Amino acid sequence: MKFWFNPTLSWQALLLLPLTALVLLISQGKRLRRSTRPYTRPVLVVGNLTVGGTGKTPMIIWLAELCQRHGIRVAVVSRGYGAKPDRAFPFQITEQISAKHCGDEPKMLAQRLNIPVVVDPQRHRAVNFVLAHHSVDLIISDDGLQHYAMHRDLEILMLDGLRGLGNGCLLPAGPLRETAGRLKSVDFIVVKQHPLALPMPYELARLTAAIPLNSLGKALVQGPVKICSGIGNFNSFQRSVVDLGYEVIETLSFADHQLISPEALANNQWPIIITEKDAIKLDLTRYPHIYVLTIAFDFDTEFERRVLASLREQIHAKSHHHTGTL
């Protein structure tokens, strides 16, 4: 909702403010009942405090690739938001399982990283599934910062540098899932794009966008384009396209995780740019005029060193103190 990100409280926010007391009670209750039973391998949560896209997926890709470069065996667990499963939870994503049945982001992660990705709304079960079926050193949870039934050893909180904490209110008056005090309890704060005036250290993620490619591997030359997507932060996607030098003639935004309609993809006079998350749900061989934008994060070597040191510390501690799964 647009009023969430107004710097001052709108009349809509003021009207909904009494309901935030209920959200506060629920979130505090969940936190008080959080699991204190660690797993035999460390769990790293990549989550957010606000509703909407904050860059969790590119962060998970960066982390997984960092682990792979340094010989750390890693798996991902995900809720599979928007999925319509054709089998019982938990399950591991295979080539035969479509994005419709497992969720667009988990499917994209499994395809991009070639690592175990397990889907279950109850992430505690997903973690135990990974531990029972794979020899891993680390498990990354896609989202789940507020999923306290799952024990975690490290937390990375993602923030959008332009949206920030919005009006600072809890749902439904504002975009916050928990109070801003939660910032003080995480291990790392990563801000996408522009820096924020936060009262504690954070890392700025340098967003890099590759030239869009179509299903034939053809690069799109700069010029007028139409952009379509079903993501949580459409404005961020549009900024990335513009930053690459394209002139956005037309925009079409769908709800987060929603499949782009065939009518929107029909050929017109402009090439169409979509995101990787959209592309995973489409047969792009039918649409040579559609190009996919790839987004990645880049960090300085000091942040990479600190993250790697934290991961190795947790992995070393688990290998010396745990002998069986819970």
Domain boundaries, the chain: 31-206+299-321, 211-293
What is the rounded distance in angstroms from the CA atom of residue 237 to the CA atom of residue 234?
5
Note the pLDDT of residue 194. 76
Q: What is the mean pLDDT of residues 3-25?
A: 94
Residues forming the annotated binding site for ATP?
A: 50-57
pLDDT of 283 > 60? The answer is: yes
Helices and strands, counts by H and E, the chain: 10, 13
Note the pLDDT of residue 140. 98
Identify the CATH assignment for 31-206+299-321 out of 3.40.50.300, 3.40.50.1820, 3.40.980.10, 1.10.10.10. Answer: 3.40.50.300
What is the rounded distance in angstroms from the CA atom of residue 249 to the CA atom of residue 284?
22
Percent of the chain clearing pLDDT 70 (strictly above)? 98
The answer to whether residues 134 and 19 touch, using CB atoms and an 8 Å cutoff, is: no
* pLDDT-based confidence at residue 257 (cuts at 50, 70, 90): confident
102-111 per-position pLDDT tens digit: 999 999 999 9
Torsion over CA of 94, 153, 30 and 181, rounded to 10 degrees?
A: -120
* pLDDT-based confidence at residue 162 (cuts at 50, 70, 90): confident
Helix axes 104-113, 56-69, angle to 10 degrees: 20
185-238 per-position pLDDT tens digit: 999 999 987 777 776 788 989 989 999 999 999 999 999 999 999 998 898 899
Residues forming the annotated binding site?
A: 50-57
Task: Please indicate whether residue 163 or residue 46 has the higher confidence score (pLDDT).
Answer: 46
Q: Of 76-80, 191-195, 213-217, 304-308, which range is least confident?
A: 191-195
pLDDT of 324 > 70? The answer is: no
Note the pLDDT of residue 7. 83
What is the rounded distance in angstroms from the CA atom of residue 266 to the CA atom of residue 24?
45
pLDDT of 326 > 70? The answer is: no
Note the pLDDT of residue 198. 72
What is the rounded distance in angstroms from the CA atom of residue 212 to the CA atom of residue 200?
36
For residue 276, which phi and psi values (nearest 5 degrees)?
Answer: -60, -35
* pLDDT-based confidence at residue 325 (cuts at 50, 70, 90): very low
Note the pLDDT of residue 322. 59
Q: What is the mean pLDDT of residues 255-282?
A: 91
What is the rounded distance in angstroms from the CA atom of residue 266 to the CA atom of residue 110?
29
Task: Please indicate whether residue 243 or residue 193 has the higher confidence score (pLDDT).
Answer: 243
Sheet strands (E) in 49-137:
74-78, 91-92, 117-119
Indicate the pTM of the whole model. 0.93
What phi-psi label fits residue 322: left (phi over 0), alpha (psi between -120 and 50 degrees) or beta? beta
What is the rounded distance in angstroms from the CA atom of residue 311 to the CA atom of residue 301?
15
